[in-house]
Amino acid sequence: MERRGFFDAQEESPRLEGFILLQIRHLYALEKRLKYERVGPALREARRLAESIPILRRLKKVLLRLQMRRQILPKSNVGKAIAPALERWEEFETYASEGRVVIDNNPCERSIRPTAVGKKNWLFIGEAHAVNRSAIVYTLIECCRRRGLDPFAYLKDVLTRLPRATNWTLGELTPGDWAAEQVCPIAAAA
């Protein structure tokens, strides 16, 4: 469910949207407590089932009633917020029944933010095929960052070793295998 749509619709229906946003805040408050308590996936799932599911049921009930009443125009901001929320409700409920799933995609959005910000700067990156190559490079850099590796050191080493690599040894140049090799350089040299 996209909170932003309901936030934008507050001017049209402040009480209704205030209630919906309050329910969403309750869900996020629980997630904040779970993160602070550093609970594992199993306990997170149990707490979500006990605390989030009632909020989700209440929220869905309100959204379905609003949609059935037909007092809200589909093209209004409120209608534009309700329709996609109900269409993707099953996907949204998945987070409550699976402790390993996060409530939103903010970590993913934060990781791609530098690319999104620099998009205009890289608009004229070269020929049409350059887009595919730069996507590969960005993916490798992000894989390095997620593993806590220095992307520059990784790319420098891999690009010097790549000309001598064979099809059978290319797997050793992935960020995961490269990181393992850096931890045990003596074993890799043997």
Token readout for 137 is: 């490079």
Q: Where are the alpha helices (DSSP H) in 38-150?
A: 41-69, 77-87, 89-97, 106-118, 130-146
- CA 75/CA 166 separation, integer angstroms: 57
CB atoms within 10 A of CB 104: 15
| 22, containing H or E segment | helix 14-37
- Domain spans in the chain, listed from the N-terminal domain onward: 3-97, 106-189
Q: Are 59 and 20 in contact (CB under 8 A)?
A: yes
- CA 128/CA 187 separation, integer angstroms: 42
- CA 124/CA 112 separation, integer angstroms: 19
Residue 188 pLDDT? 47
What does the pLDDT profile of the chain (190 residues) look like in tens digits? 677 777 777 777 777 778 888 999 999 999 999 999 999 999 999 999 999 999 999 999 988 888 887 777 777 777 888 888 888 888 888 888 888 888 888 877 887 777 777 666 666 666 767 777 877 888 888 889 888 899 999 999 999 998 998 888 888 888 888 888 887 655 444 4
Residue 143 pLDDT? 87
Please give the single-letter amino acid code of residue 137: V
Token readout for 127 is: 């020929």
Residue 160 pLDDT? 93
